[in-house]
Amino acid sequence: MTNPRQRTESEPLLTPSEVATLFRVDPKTVTRWAKAGKLTSIRTLGGHRRYRESEVRSLLEGNTNTPVEV
């Protein structure tokens, strides 16, 4: 699987608990942020949420706008 070319280029994703740890909040709170549209959420086929690491980092720096441009 060691392909020299970069196939399947994608962006790193974070789990709810990882985001919760970064913000020092409860994972439920992160879920509410996603529900409220304050955070972009990518769902797995099982219904669980994954979050964009780039967006989370921007939010951690105090950015309240939407820096989503991938």
Partner DNA sequence: TTCGAGTAGGGTAATTGGGGGA
Partner DNA sequence: TGTGTCCCAATTACCCTACTCG
- What DSSP element (H or E) covers 35? helix 27-35
Enter the tokens of residue 5: 């070319």
Q: Which of 17, 35, 63, 68 binds a copy of itself (CB under 8 A)?
A: 17
Residue with tokens 């020299």: 4
Say if residues 50 and 10 touch (Cβ distance below 8 Å): no
Say if residues 42 and 50 touch (Cβ distance below 8 Å): yes
Q: Which CB, 3 or 69, lies closer to DNA? A: 3
# residues contacting a copy of itself (CB under 8 A): 30
User: Considering the complex, what minimum distance in angstroms separates the CB of residue 33 from a copy of itself?
Assistant: 5
User: Which residues sit at the interface with a copy of itself, rule CB under 8 A?
Assistant: 1, 7-8, 10, 12-15, 17-18, 21-25, 29, 33, 36, 38-39, 42-46, 50, 53, 59-60, 62
